[in-house]
Amino acid sequence: MHHKSTNPSPWASFSFQPAEAFIESGIIYVFAFTFPVHIIHILAFLVFMTLYNVYGHLGFEIFPRGFNRHWFFKWFNTSVNHNMHHQYFKGNYGLYFTWWDRLMNTMHREYDNRFETVTSETTHLRKTKQHDAG
């Protein structure tokens, strides 16, 4: 159900069948019954998980140009990366991070170029809007 959206919107982050949603939320049960985790930490994780999931399905990028090539930040998943996962279905499997995709060579070969293109267009649009407003 979730991957029927090939150009996702934030609503796609909530598009799961009930069984799929239960399985996806399994990590919470593992933590709750394995580690002594306070309910506040679980709730904080749920909020983070929801916000990052919505960000991954935005359909546009909020991180700046060069974020995907920075020695530290390149390990974090981006909206562009996840959008490519929905577009091509193979590769870009990471949820929060990209290290497994990079290590297992499942990162789409055009990801870095696509990120640069998207963020360059965004930067250009911001400058155009600022120029028109000024």
Give the pLDDT of the chain (134 residues) as one tens digit per residue. Answer: 566 666 666 666 666 778 877 887 787 888 788 988 888 988 998 899 889 888 888 878 899 999 999 999 999 999 898 888 878 878 888 888 999 999 999 999 999 999 999 898 655 555 445 445 55
Provide the residue count of the chain.
Answer: 134
Q: Please give the pLDDT value at position 123.
A: 54
- The CB-side HSE value for 21 (13 A sphere, CA atoms) comes to 10
- Give me the phi and psi of 97, to 5 degrees please: -130, 160
- The C-alpha torsion from 59 through 80 and 86 to 11, rounded to 10°, is -30
| Dihedral sign for Cα atoms in the order 112, 117, 122, 123 | positive
Residue 37 dihedral angles phi and psi, to the nearest 5°: -105, 130
Query: What confidence score (pLDDT) does residue 109 get?
Result: 92
